Amino acid sequence: GELIEVRCADVTEIDTAPYDAVFVDPARRGGRGRIFDPEAYSPPLSWATAAALKAPRAALKIAPGIPHEAIGPEAEAEWISDGGDVKEAVLWYGEGFA
């Protein structure tokens, strides 16, 4: 069967290159509510994008209001809605996605 490894750690200290797929769901809320600057996410979008590009496949869950210019050309962006309200967005990277 397939081997899946789940790790609970500081993601910024993990090399994502050896993994077949990576999923990053950065914290997008702070003590004062929603964080609108993708570089203020934890981890920042720039780190998450670099990690995604090292793996063959990756998905980054992001806020739906992300500025479109913050999305690099290597990503396939998907916005998800429910009942006409946009709820979240995902950036897909790699084979079969982008």
DSSP state of 54: H
Q: Flag whether pLDDT at 45 surpasses 80.
A: yes
Tokens 């479109």 -> residue: 68
How do residues 17-31 score in pLDDT, each as one tens digit? 888 889 999 988 888
Does the pLDDT value for residue 1 go beyond 70?
A: no
Segment 2-22 mean pLDDT: 84
Residue 48: the pLDDT is 94
Bridge partners (DSSP) of residue 80 are: 88
Dist. CA 47–CA 40, nearest whole Å: 11
Which is it for strands 85-94 and 33-34: parallel, antiparallel or unpaired? Answer: unpaired
